[in-house]
Amino acid sequence: MLGNRSVRQALCALVEKTHYIAFVGMFRVYKNVPDAFRRYLLGKGEYPVSICINTPVGLREVRLYSHHDMLTVNEIFCRNDYPAEQNLRAVVDIGANIGLSAFYFMTRNNQARCYLFEPDPKNIGRLRQQLKSFEGRYELEECAVSDFDGKVTFGVESTGRYGGIGVKTEQEITVDCRHINGILREVIGRERIIDVVKIDTEGAEIATVKAIDAELLGNIRHIFIEAHPEEDLLLGKFKQQQYGSICQLANVELGGA
């Protein structure tokens, strides 16, 4: 085992291009590179811990509560799972977890605003603490998001990273769920254009994207989801590519790459 990875996972990583991108990115992102390597690759180190990262707006500290959070930081900041321009303005972050992706988006510049959705109570407390210096630039709604409205059974677990609607975990709670279209209409009504919609909901991503009304898609530049779809999700309206575990969808008419 290497940092809680199986031998098979470690060997597969050797042929995955995105891991080499992440490796190079670590030298750019972390202030203390040796400590970051030890935490990420070997799974060593005490938690909680605050680590310093370089961002377009200067050196910032993020708070991590487990090795799983270290994996998330590496995926977002070093591997560049959610590429965002420095002129980023508006983001919808579904499955905001402890706020690491929102932290990334709001450090691309000093103006970007985030609309966050997260149902896990433990994650919500950590998210608010994580984003304390960004108050006024984000709004948080404590709910799940999918392709329907209503109450849902939501699985939660100790790391806060792998829970989701209908996911079988050590604990289940009942939470509110909102339809993606209602959320997008509200944000578009305020922002006109959404630069990024990021969805990481442990299994509900594809159904959520396919439920987005065509009229709303014209106001979204990029959609990033944690999924491996076997089909063209938006029927050619967006350029679709797979980047590691992330399906990246870009609206070419709005300048998507």
d(CA 98, CA 128): 8
Quick one: pLDDT at residue 189?
Answer: 98
Q: Which domains does the chain have, with CATH numbers?
A: 1-80 (no CATH), 84-257 (3.40.50.150)
d(CA 144, CA 178): 6
Quick one: pLDDT at residue 12?
Answer: 46
Quick one: pLDDT at residue 76?
Answer: 98
pLDDT class for 8, splitting at 50, 70, 90?
A: very low
Q: Are 3 and 43 in contact (CB under 8 A)?
A: yes
- List, as one string, the DSSP characters of 30-95: BSSHHHHHHHHHH--S-SSEEEEEEETTEEEEEEE-SHHHHHHHIIIIIS-SS---TT--EEEEES
Q: Is the dihedral of CA 123, 129, 134, 137 positive or negative?
A: positive
Angle between helices 17-29 and 33-42 (to 10 degrees): 150
Quick one: pLDDT at residue 5?
Answer: 44
Quick one: pLDDT at residue 237?
Answer: 85
Q: Say which DSSP state 5 is in.
A: B
Asked whether residue 201 carries a pLDDT value surpassing 50, the answer given is yes
Question: CA Rg, the chain, in Å?
Answer: 18
Per residue in 121-150, pLDDT (tens digit) is 999 999 999 999 999 999 999 999 999 999
Which residues have a Cβ under 8 Å from the Cβ of 135 and sit 6 or more positions away?
Answer: none
Per residue in 78-124, pLDDT (tens digit) is 999 999 998 999 999 999 999 999 999 999 999 999 999 999 999 99
Strand partners of residue 139 = 115
pLDDT class for 9, splitting at 50, 70, 90?
A: very low
Per residue in 142-196, pLDDT (tens digit) is 999 999 999 999 999 988 888 899 898 889 999 999 999 999 999 999 999 999 9
